Structure 1
Amino acid sequence: MYAAHFGLRELPFGITPDTSFFFGSPRSQEALNTLLVAARTGEGFIKITGEVGTGKTLLCRKFMAILGEDFVTAYIPNPYLEPRTLMLALADELEIALEREVDQHQLLKAINLRLLDLAAQDKRVVLCLDEAQAIPVESLEALRLLTNLETEKRKLLQIVLFGQPELNAKLELESIRQLAQRITFHYHLGPMSRDDLDFYVAHRLRVAGFTGARLFTRSAIRGLYKASGGVPRLVNIMAHKALMLSYGQGKQQVGGGHVLTAARDTVGVRRDILSWLAGGAAVAATAAGLAWVVAR
């Protein structure tokens, strides 16, 4: 689309969690360091929370990618599963061969034997559950029981919960208080600061192959921050649209007007500041440009 126009090898602002674009802002780097320290000290439960779009899934994938050969990772992206199905998903991730009609006892025994086998190979096993706020309470309790599996020196399974703040409310339930007490490391992933966002945009452009001077003007960066509140997903969506607009007009730089129109066209932005961003008559012309680019 606009990649060649701006000298890019690939589109820089996709919303899929590509670890090559991971940006170590102070917050995301601190969260990653927390995960690495917790995993290497062998803690049973670790929790990472953050609002929608703050980069939890990307952080999860980056964490798993750099753990190293001493770790075996299991990843369940949608844990809205009843306990038995969740255990089957874990068994599948650990490449455990099961009989077609395996009962609960044999299932747990097979998982335990696999974990013991990996421990004998001096491997640590980390289970990462994305969207953990959706896990049923009964399944959370089943996970707690799994962390009871241990040798004399360490836990056989570590569990990392990545979820929206609603996960905290769920963990306050009396029925799973024992699980909440076992969470020894936790971190809340907040939005980016204004300066972080500026570096974030430049970082993603550089990874995508951009070698020129500033592509997004300071007013464009200011608009991205005001409209997104520093939430990476919203930044990506609006930056992508703003690049489309600039390309559609044959421009070589993204300005504040492009960002304003992108913000108007994006669900979830801070509507209260759109009037602050408005640039008068240029907005209508930019809007027409977006419609033209999308239609191409």
Structure 2
Amino acid sequence: MYQRHFQLQHLPFGLTPDTRFFVPLQQHQDVLAVLKTALNAGEGFIKISGEVGSGKTLLCRMLLQQAEPDWQLAYLPDPCLTPLELRWALALELGLHYSGNIDPPQLLQLLQRQLMLLAAQGKKTIILLDEAQALPDDTLEALRLLTNLETEQRKLLQVVLFGQPELNSRLGAYRFRQLRQRITFSSHLSLMSRKQVTAYLRQRVSQAGATVPLFRPAAEAAICRYSRGIPRLVNVLAHKALLLAFGEGRAVVTAQHVRLAALDTEDVSPKPKSWWWYSLVAMTLLTAGVAVAACWPGGALL
């Protein structure tokens, strides 16, 4: 849309977690260090919590990229699974094939056999579960029971739970006291500071191909204020602000562009003043930016 205008090779602020644009902030590095230490220890559950949009899925994908040679990772992005669906999802990730003729006890035996085979090959089998706060209660309990599979020396399965803070509340329930005791490592992903938001914005546009700053300091400060340091909101505001600057033919993003972007974005706080006037202007400029992009030779909206 605005790539040619700002001389960018890629869109720098997409909502899809893209490891090409990973910014190694201190809190992300700390959580990755905890994960690697815990996984090398070889036992138990590991819990990573963080607010909505704080970058948990991106961390999960970074872990997939940085996997040790002896890790056998099973990534399960969909938490809305029954206990049986969870076992089948794990089985498929480990290379087994689905068959409607296999009943639940047989499936459990096949899983145990596959896990023991992997262990004999020196592999550590690890489940990465995203959005774990949405796991049904029965599925959480089934997950705990799966970790009972073991040899005389060690467990056959480790579990990493990535979830929102609601996961902590759920695991605090009496019925999950056994699972709670198996959490050997846990870490919380904190949000970005003002300084980190600035570094994040500058590194992302640099990674996208920009050779000059695209955000004025006041614009960076405004993005930090309205996003509250949440990476997903930073991306949304930065993208819309770039679109507004493009619609005006400006070479840099100003604080005014960010204020207009904030008015068109859910969950920002606080909302800018004179909301009705800014909202009208924001809608006009966003529409103009989309129209210009659509008419650009060879242009595409996204």
TM-score, normalised relative to structure 2 = 0.92
Distance 2:186 2:278 in 1: 46
Residue of structure 2 in register with 1:97 after alignment? 97
What amino acid does structure 2 have at the position aligned with 1:8? L
What amino acid does structure 1 have at the position aligned with 2:216? T
Describe the SS at the equivalent of 2:34. Answer: helix
Describe the SS at the equivalent of 2:74. Answer: strand
Pairing of 1:153-172 with structure 2 (within 5 A)? 153-172=153-172
Cα contact 2:48–2:189 (8 A) shared by 1: yes
What amino acid does structure 2 have at the position aligned with 1:156? L
Cα contact 1:98–1:107 (8 A) shared by 2: no
What amino acid does structure 2 have at the position aligned with 1:207? Q
State which of 278, 284, 287 in structure 2 corresponds to 1:288.
284
Cα contact 2:242–2:253 (8 A) shared by 1: yes
Cα contact 1:238–1:259 (8 A) shared by 2: yes
Percent of pairs with identical residues: 49
Cα contact 1:46–1:183 (8 A) shared by 2: yes
Structure 1 residues 287, 82: CA separation in 2 closer, same or farther (over 3 Å shift)? closer
Residue of structure 1 in register with 2:216 after alignment? 217
Distance 1:7 1:143 in 2: 49
Pairing of 1:79-118 with structure 2 (within 5 A)? 79-118=79-118
Q: Please list the CA deviations of residues 195-221 of structure 1 after superposition, one character each: whole Å capped at 9, or x if unmatched.
A: 001111111112111122x21111100
Residue of structure 2 in register with 1:78 after alignment? 78
Q: Please list the CA deviations of residues 16-41 of structure 1 after superposition, one character each: whole Å capped at 9, or x if unmatched.
A: 01111111111111111111111111
Distance 2:125 2:278 in 1: 56
Cα contact 2:264–2:282 (8 A) shared by 1: no
Residue of structure 1 in register with 2:143 after alignment? 143
Q: What is the root-mean-square deviation in Å for CA atoms of aligned residues?
A: 1.8
Distance 1:24 1:151 in 2: 37
Residue of structure 2 in register with 1:20 after alignment? 20
Distance 1:147 1:66 in 2: 24
Distance 1:201 1:180 in 2: 38
Residue of structure 1 in register with 2:299 after alignment? none
Cα contact 1:257–1:286 (8 A) shared by 2: no
Distance 2:13 2:25 in 1: 17
What amino acid does structure 2 have at the position aligned with 1:24? P
Residue of structure 1 in register with 2:272 after alignment? 274
Q: Please list the CA deviations of residues 109-167 of structure 1 after superposition, one character each: whole Å capped at 9, or x if unmatched.
A: 11111111111111111101111011111111111111111222222111000111111
Residue of structure 2 in register with 1:237 after alignment? 236
**Structure 2 stretches of 5 or more lacking a match?**
295-302
Cα contact 1:257–1:282 (8 A) shared by 2: no
Residue of structure 2 in register with 1:41 after alignment? 41
Cα contact 2:148–2:155 (8 A) shared by 1: yes
Distance 2:235 2:197 in 1: 11
The runs of 4+ residues in structure 1 deviating greater than 3 Å are 281-287
Q: Please list the CA deviations of residues 6-59 of structure 1 after superposition, one character each: whole Å capped at 9, or x if unmatched.
A: 111110000101111111111111111111111111132000111111111111
Residue of structure 1 in register with 2:207 after alignment? 207
What amino acid does structure 1 have at the position aligned with 2:288? W
Offset of residue 290 of structure 1: 1.9
Distance 2:177 2:218 in 1: 48
Residue of structure 2 in register with 1:196 after alignment? 196
Distance 2:180 2:282 in 1: 51
Residue of structure 1 in register with 2:245 after alignment? 246
What amino acid does structure 2 have at the position aligned with 1:105? P
Distance 1:53 1:247 in 2: 26
Equivalent residues, number: 292
Offset of residue 97 of structure 1: 2.3
Cα contact 1:217–1:256 (8 A) shared by 2: yes
What amino acid does structure 1 have at the position aligned with 2:263? R
Describe the SS at the equivalent of 1:274. Answer: coil
